[in-house]
Amino acid sequence: MQNTGKEWDPKILAFLCNWCSYAGADLAGISRMQYPPNVRVVRVPCSGRVNPYFIIKALQRGWDGVLVSGCHPGDCHYISGNLVARRRFTVLKDLLEYLGIEPGRVNFSWVSAAEGEKFAKVVTDVVKGVKALGPANRLVKR
Amino acid sequence: MKWKVIEKSELPVLIGELTKEYEVFAPVKEKGMVSFERISSGNQAYLNFRNTKKPLKEVFFPQTETLFTYKTGEKDVEVVESRAVKGERVVLGVRPCDAKSFVLLDRFFSSGEYKDVYYLEKRKNTTMVGLACNHPMSTCFCTSLGGSPFGKEGMDLLLQNINDKYLIETATEKGEELIKKFPWLKDAEKADIERAKKLSEDAEKAVKSKVSVKDISEKLDKMFDDSFWDQIYQKCLGCGICTFLCPTCYCFDILDEETEEGKRVRIWDSCQFPCFTLQGSGYNPRPSGKERMRQRIMHKFNYGVKNYGENFCVGCGRCVQECPVNLDIREVIGAINQKGG
Amino acid sequence: MGNIENSIREVAEKLLSEKKVDLIIGYEQGTLPLRTTPCFVDKAEDVKKLVWNPSCDANLSKYVLGRKGKVGVVAKGCDARLIAVCAIENQFPRENVVIIGIPCLGVIDRKKLEAKLGDKEILEAMVEDEQIKVKGERFELALPKKDFLCDSCLTCKHRNPPIYDVFVGEKVPENTEANEFAEVSDLEAKSPEERWKHFKEELSKCIRCYACRNVCPLCYCKMCFVDQTMPAWFGKTNDLSDTMIYHIVRTFHVAGRCVDCGACSRACPMDINLRELMKKTEKIMKERYGYEAGVSLEKVPPLGEFKMDDPQEFIK
């Protein structure tokens, strides 16, 4: 995550579940909605696939922010993947913030396949929040 | 010219002068723990300690050491060695047990066809200034392993605390070279030397903990398959405390890491860790704590003797103090002696 | 104390001679003052080795794992709770373990004593009623025991094991007053920058000896995440980032299962206050999911289940 001399622009890693959030992001694109280009997407089958290691590794590798997005509870393609994930994320987020990782670096959302506008809004909010925090430097391994 | 004295109040001045020319490592007390750190002024050295938690080996054999870095280019890989040993070093305040451990570690790191330059270069560039033990601890058993509280093995100079002064005894030419840089040091008087001798005798008597390692290697030769090992290991947790805090343990692992450039690092490893002997096939010749405990004891008191001529233990007592379950190596030696007859 | 010690020996002897267990795991006298060491007794005549005193700080539930046959374990409140957690997690059949429950009023924290005495070494020690009497070279002191108990014991709400097969001695009054999360709340009140600075300082002392992991009965994975290769998730050097992550992940792995026995902090040779991290997960579980580990054999730890109405105020 090198600063090439230009003003720093945050890089956000987003894990989007294939059935809902990824489709929602796709809809945002097709609808030509404008949102900040700072997000790099990793498609996962379900938000439940997201291992806390992924989030922690991202922070270690210098990603300025992480977003995990899945189906709304009750709508998971695999019935309960997002419900399992929800508890995991609750504990992980509380723990990381307790340790001193700034609130706003690690974000979670429920975005359905029809919510292109919501996706754009979530990304805008996340990028705004991370921009205010500055480049990630807490868990980064040099 | 073998004995000099320095007032206790003057020692920080001497250390301060050393820091101008050498990289000086000395015991430093921080938040209740004493450990060897690089110091930049004489006042930072703390010499009122029993022994440091971590052994001195980390100054020569760091827990994490980069062996080289590499950059991948278009057609080739550029390797940059990182063996820079910047300057001459002085380590001050080494206890005799830790100093002796270097005599043993030197044998290991210089054995075989490939000498370990990372360790050896640091050793070559370092003058060891020891600090004799006036008050051995109840867990010290250096005298049973060929050491002594006022021993000079592995040292270039030995500081001896004789109440209001330190007696400085030279043990090697390197030590004499260092002392020559301080011509203002006074010669020791006969009374000082006598006092040190008495303190040395008292200290040796004060080492009450004794073990017998006579013929232990031969006894262990016959015990490899003994049922003795089934009992001994049971409470061991398999952590790395005894090996990491042991001044003579030297096992390491080598890893390659990549962030923006690649680097090959070596890190301390422990024979007590389950993956220590895990092979690529998935087979592990030391599958349980029993084999791993046996390995540790055999290495210290049998393989060490066979390969390097001496038991690989200096009796510092750190493993005894820090083991979370009080697995006492002195008890293990006693049990071996009982079993071995 | 003496009564409980004798009762433990009686119970152990009975269990062994009646062949209800193949092995008794308890404590015996250690080789240093104020230390006991785990003891494995398989013959009825050896029960006289078993002791009980405020130095019985090892977590014996660790030794139940991976064993075949029936075992009897001397268990304080925290130890018994951990046996319950491991039983719920199917690490061994519950009926293979006979929990010999002991009421415990706290174990001594040797690190607090060392901090008080500095370079002075304790050569002899005795715990008499509410005092710890220590003797060394040229000093003799009587110290109030309550000032040198482990922090985890000071706020312990389960002095009597909530799950047991045999109870030895009389139940002791529980400490219902203490605020067990006071330390955590203090840290929570600080800014993220202050917390980060604090944890960075504490965890930079770590030498990656894994004593914290190995002493914990909940860390029973055959291959710990830190030893995994292909992929190697996090490094094994003592680089600060890797070290902090090791502790974060281990804390996450014990979340909802940890009972704050304090063994990890006691085992750490570098005196890192690991409990500060572990305790936070206990608070999260209590506040978010109303869960307390190891007090019931029916309830599954929070990360092992889910509910439709789980809290999600932080999810956009």
Instruction: Give all domains of chain A, ordered by start, each with its CATH number.
Output: 12-133 (3.40.50)
A contact test, residue of B69, B255, B260 with most A CBs within 10 A: B260
Residues of A in contact with C200 (CB under 8 A): 100
For chain C, say whether A33 makes contact (Cβ under 8 Å). no
Q: In the block, which residue shows the tokens 């005193």?
A: C53
Check pLDDT > 70 for residue A2: no
| Closest CA of chain C from A102, distance in Å | 6
Are C118 and C267 members of one domain? Answer: no
For chain C, say whether B161 makes contact (Cβ under 8 Å). no
B325 to chain C: closest CA residue: C37
Name the residue range of residue C98's domain. Answer: 2-109+149-304
Predicted local confidence at residue A26, as pLDDT: 96
A contact test, residue of C306, C308, C313 with most A CBs within 10 A: C306
How far the first Cα of chain C sits from its last, in Å, is: 56
Are C143 and C284 members of one domain? Answer: no
Quickly list H helices, B95-236: 96-109, 117-124, 173-180, 190-206, 216-221, 228-232
| B–C interface: beta-carbon pairs under 8 A | 107
Residues of A in contact with B259 (CB under 8 A): 61, 141-142
For chain C, say whether A94 makes contact (Cβ under 8 Å). yes
CA distances (Å), origin B158, targets B91, B170, B242: 11, 6, 27
C311: number of Cβ within 10 Å: 13
The pLDDT tens digits for C209-266 are: 999 999 999 999 999 999 998 888 999 999 999 999 999 999 999 999 999 999 999 9
Are C235 and C136 members of one domain? Answer: no
Among the candidates C95, C129, C148, a domain finishes at C148
The pLDDT tens digits for B123-140 are: 999 999 999 999 999 999
B248-267 residues touching A, CB cutoff 8 A:
259-260
Percent of chain C having pLDDT more than 70?
99
Are C177 and C278 members of one domain? Answer: yes
Among the candidates C125, C148, C171, a domain finishes at C148
C205 is a domain residue: yes
**Cross-chain CB nearest to C209 (options B135, B240, B328):** B240
Predicted local confidence at residue A58, as pLDDT: 96
A60 to chain B: closest CA residue: B259
Contact B36, B54 (CB under 8 A): yes
* H or E element that contains A119: helix A116-133
Are C168 and C208 members of one domain? Answer: yes
Q: Find the chain C residues whose C-beta atoms sit closer than 8 A to any C-beta of A.
A: 184, 187-188, 192-200, 225, 233-235, 239, 241-242, 244-245, 248-249, 251-252, 255-256, 277, 280-281, 284-285, 288-289, 302-303, 306-308, 310-312, 314-316
C312 is a domain residue: no
* CA C277 to mean position of chain CA atoms: 14
| Closest CA of chain A from B261, distance in Å | 10
C12 token code pair? 């152990």
The pLDDT tens digits for B169-217 are: 999 999 999 999 999 999 999 999 999 999 999 999 999 999 999 999 9
Are C88 and C198 members of one domain? Answer: yes
Q: Are strands C71-75 and A106-110 parallel, antiparallel or unpaired?
A: unpaired
Chain A partners (3+ C-beta pairs within 8 A): B, C
Predicted local confidence at residue B274, as pLDDT: 92
Are C135 and C158 members of one domain? Answer: no
Give strand pairing partners of C141. C134
Between CA B25 and CA C251 the distance in angstroms is: 35
Pick the range with the lowest mean pLDDT from B48-52, B83-87, C126-130.
Answer: B83-87
Between CA B226 and CA B62 the distance in angstroms is: 36
Higher pLDDT, B209 or B163: B209
Are C59 and C100 members of one domain? Answer: yes
How far the first Cα of chain A sits from its last, in Å, is: 11
Counted domains in chain C: 2
For chain B, say whether A141 makes contact (Cβ under 8 Å). yes
Count Cα atoms within 13 angstroms, Cβ side, for A11. Answer: 12
Contact B56, B98 (CB under 8 A): yes
Kindly determine whether residue C306 and residue A103, on different chains, have CB atoms separated by under 8 Å: no
The pLDDT tens digits for C173-215 are: 999 888 999 999 999 999 999 999 999 999 999 999 999 999 9
> Mean pLDDT across chain C, nearest whole number?
94
C139 is a domain residue: yes
For chain B, say whether A3 makes contact (Cβ under 8 Å). no
The C-alpha angle B25, B27, B29, rounded to 5 degrees, equals 130
For chain B, say whether A87 makes contact (Cβ under 8 Å). no
Query: How many H helices and E strands in chain B?
Result: 13, 12
Provide mean pLDDT across the span B41-69.
93
B39: number of Cβ within 10 Å: 21
Sign of CA dihedral B244, B312, B276, C86: negative
C238 is a domain residue: yes
Check pLDDT > 90 for residue B112: no
Are C144 and C132 members of one domain? Answer: yes
Contact C142, C160 (CB under 8 A): no
CA distances (Å), origin C161, targets A117, B220, C103: 54, 44, 7
Are C23 and C80 members of one domain? Answer: yes
Predicted local confidence at residue B260, as pLDDT: 72
C137 is a domain residue: yes
Predicted local confidence at residue A140, as pLDDT: 92
For chain C, say whether B1 makes contact (Cβ under 8 Å). no
Check pLDDT > 80 for residue B250: yes
Give strand pairing partners of C136. C122, C139
DSSP state of A38: T
Compute, in degrees rounded to 10, the torsion defined by CA atoms A61, A63, A65, A69. -80
Task: State ipTM.
Answer: 0.93
A8: number of Cβ within 10 Å: 12
C196 is a domain residue: yes
Between CA C139 and CA C133 the distance in angstroms is: 11
| Closest CA of chain A from B254, distance in Å | 19
Map residue A31 onto helix, strand or coil. Answer: coil
B231 to chain C: closest CA residue: C40
Are C76 and C168 members of one domain? Answer: yes
Between CA A92 and CA A103 the distance in angstroms is: 12
C315 is a domain residue: no
Between CA C229 and CA A87 the distance in angstroms is: 27
Contact A94, C280 (CB under 8 A): yes
C103 is a domain residue: yes
Are C84 and C117 members of one domain? Answer: no
Residues of B in contact with C114 (CB under 8 A): 32
- Determine if the peptide bond prior to B287 is cis (ω within 30°): no
Q: In the block, which residue shows the tokens 């085992």?
A: C267
